[in-house]
Amino acid sequence: MAPPLLLLQDINLTFGTAPLLTGAGMGVSAGDRICLVGRNGSGKSTLLKVAAGQIQADSGRRFAQPGATVRYLAQEPDFTGYDTTLAFVEAGFAGAGSGDHHRALYLLEQLGLTGAEDPNTLSGGEARRTALAQVLAPEPDILLLDEPTNHLDLPGIEWLEKELASLRSGIMLISHDRRLLERVSRATLWLDRGVTRQLEQSFAHFEPWRDAVLEQEETDRHKLGRKIVMEEDWLRYGVTARRKRNQKRLADLHSLRKQHREQRGAQGKVRMEAAEADLSGRLVMVAEGVSKAYGDRSIVRDFSARVIRGDRVGIVGPNGAGKTTLLNLLTGATEPDSGEIKIGTNLSQVTLDQRRETLDAGQTLSQALTGGAGDTVVVNNQSRHVVSYMKDFLFGPEQANTPVDVLSGGERGRLTLARAFAKPSNLLVLDEPTNDLDLETLELLQERLADYAGTVLLVSHDRDFLDRVVTSVIASDGDGVWTQYAGGYTDMLAQRAPVRVAAPSGKAKSGLGQASAPAKASSKRMTFKDKHALETLPGRIATLEAEIAKLNRQLSDPNLYSKNPVKFAATSQALTEAQSALAAAEEQWLELEMRREEMGA
């Protein structure tokens, strides 16, 4: 085994009154590929900064091999004194012994930059990509990367995987992208409750190992608890004449109690329960020949799709392709230039925005969850104290009055999820929901979405998340063309090449029903009656929707039952019949439309 080029031993660090690192350590040798994992707030970024020499530990040892170059990807790069992004990237060659102007330009180009940009006018994503180019440029001996995929699109993430694989550097990596960790890492360092444990296998083997470690801890804690009970029983009922022995056993008991108190148990798990509204109509949204452009640039061109109740639809594509625009078109937030978007009935939508803009920085954590009124949150028609609900998302009671603007990125992500899941909904619209979430929270979000009875639309660059959650993927083919594929991200890659060859005139005819239907056309022809029904059903559906809305308004009168119970019963019965008729009409239209498309194919 090669000697470490960078070594941390017995690192202790305390912020405020709580110890963050208590005897943590790590070592990186040439060619290592180590992923650093742990909960948000466990100290991963802090440990990486100690390794980079940017933070001085309270105690412990840091050793870096003389002459070894170490580069650290900063969360907030300092561009002071640099006129262009190229100048900033070339500054990364300092101390590396040599510099390659062409490599700096190559990296910037691969990350979507030219090198001529003014660093003071960069967006957050552009600044992050510029910093990534700077640390990669010199091909250092040690590369410390904290969330390198932030602000990278899927092509960028896949490029980064290949770039890291080509380096001879020893790499220590923090990321929430499970697929990246599985493909890049060869060892896993777990930071948990201030202590580090290392698994000499890739991240793909981490979770079973972690669960076994926590299970053994729980067994040890249980044994220790039983030993304390036995000692207390002996003290109460044992022979008391042998005083010296009693005093020794009492001292042992106090030591056991102290050990039990100081033993930091595993952190709790996030509990997520999405408050669900009444069921929506069978058809949630239908897009027919939708196009949208800004100036001469086509964002969406001749796009058609159907979203049915219960679908989980992922939207993927490079940065700037128009993913958020397509999401807004489908939900009716943006009007198309041409074509038509039909929104289904009885929709209760909750949106999780990408930039957490719905959070008021002036509020406290408690106020953000309660809306500033009282100290309770209503979830699934049950009133819960805000502190109890906070605990479900790993917030301590002492954080209730913490201002939102001082929360970490991961904490803001969990707070946004807590707000979203507290609202009754049957349509969840999620724009980059995985940003800043730790792996445990991400797993529970996946489970919650899998159990969610409503419909989910999401934009994400997380390939593993897409594979675990979505039932279909809408992918950008460039120039405003979008195509829908059945299955997750991996399924989309498998289907994409043959689908592109078969696509006529570059136009995308998409839809969940179409993507999941058999490839061969239906042999059953459409009768005149079928064609007539296909033409008249949209009008009948609109009439039923209007009738349902009218009946709902009548039933919203709280005094209707006491004033006229007969009318209340008749109205309720009429509403039930109208909703059944609407579901049947939507189902019939859907079947006929799918058959018509198969005939056309």
Q: What's the pLDDT at 233? A: 60
In which band, very low, low, confident or very high, does the pLDDT at 582 lie, cut at 50, 70 and 90? confident
In which band, very low, low, confident or very high, does the pLDDT at 513 lie, cut at 50, 70 and 90? very low
Res. 346: pLDDT tops 70: yes
Q: What's the pLDDT at 73? A: 93
Res. 126: pLDDT tops 70: yes
Burial 226-261 (b: 16+ CB within 10 A, else e): eeeeebeeeeeeeeeeeeeeeeeeeeebeebeeeee
Q: Which CATH fold would you assign to the domain 528-600? A: Helix Hairpins (1.10.287)
* E strand or H helix that includes residue 353: none
Task: Write the secondary structure of 78-100 as one string of H (helix), E (strand) and C (coil).
Answer: CCCCCCCHHHHHHHHHCCCCCCC
What is the number of other CB atoms lying within 10 angstroms of the CB of residue 141?
21
In which band, very low, low, confident or very high, does the pLDDT at 250 lie, cut at 50, 70 and 90? low
**Cα(210)–Cα(153) distance, integer angstroms:** 30
- Which position has the higher pLDDT, 333 or 591? 333
Model-level pTM? 0.65
DSSP designation for 420: H
**Cα(588)–Cα(68) distance, integer angstroms:** 69
Superfamily of domain 268-348+426-516: P-loop containing nucleotide triphosphate hydrolases (3.40.50.300)
How high is the mean pLDDT of the chain? 81
61-65, 336-340, 405-409, 500-504: lowest mean pLDDT where? 500-504
For 21-89, the DSSP string reads EEEEEEEE-TT-EEEEE--TTSSHHHHHHHHHTSS--SEEEEEE-TT--EEE--SS---TT-SSHHHHH
Domain ranges (residues) in the chain: 209-262, 268-348+426-516, 357-423, 528-600
**Cα(287)–Cα(123) distance, integer angstroms:** 33
Q: What's the pLDDT at 500? A: 42
| Residue type at position 208 | P
Res. 514: pLDDT tops 50: no
pLDDT in tens, 262-277: 555 555 554 544 454 4
Task: Write the secondary structure of 162-204 as one string of H (helix), E (strand) and C (coil).
Answer: HHHHHCCCEEEEECCCHHHHHHHCCEEEEEECCEEEEECCCHH
Res. 258: pLDDT tops 80: no
State what percent of residues in the chain have pLDDT above 70.
83
Q: What's the pLDDT at 230? A: 67
77-81, 200-204, 286-290, 411-415: lowest mean pLDDT where? 411-415
Q: How many helices (H) and strands (E) does the chain have?
A: 19, 20
Q: What's the pLDDT at 438? A: 76
| Strand partners of residue 6 | 28, 64
The CA dihedral of 201, 206, 210, 213, to the nearest 10 degrees, is: -20
What is the number of other CB atoms lying within 10 angstroms of the CB of residue 389?
22
Most confident of 222-231, 429-438, 458-467: 458-467
Please identify which residue in the block is written with the tokens 């067994």. 219
pLDDT in tens, 143-170: 999 989 888 888 889 999 999 999 999 9
Token pair belonging to 263 = 């033993």
Q: What's the pLDDT at 581? A: 82
Task: Write the secondary structure of 459-524 as one string of H (helix), E (strand) and C (coil).
Answer: ECCCHHHHHHHCCEEEEEEECCEEEEEECCHHHHHHHHHHHHHHCHHHCCECCHHHHHCCCCCCCC
The whole-angstrom distance between residue 105's C-alpha and the CA centroid of its chain comes to 32
**Cα(155)–Cα(198) distance, integer angstroms:** 31
Q: What's the pLDDT at 505? A: 36
How many CA within 13 A on the CB side of residue 106? 10
- Are the beta carbons of 179 and 199 closer than 8 angstroms? no
Res. 232: pLDDT tops 70: no
Q: What's the pLDDT at 506? A: 37
Res. 29: pLDDT tops 90: yes
Q: What's the pLDDT at 443? A: 79
Mean pLDDT of 139-144: 94
Res. 245: pLDDT tops 80: no
Q: What's the pLDDT at 449? A: 82
| Residue type at position 324 | T
Res. 311: pLDDT tops 50: yes
pLDDT in tens, 60-109: 999 999 989 999 998 778 898 999 999 999 998 887 766 788 999 999 99
Q: What's the pLDDT at 515? A: 39
Q: What's the pLDDT at 411? A: 79
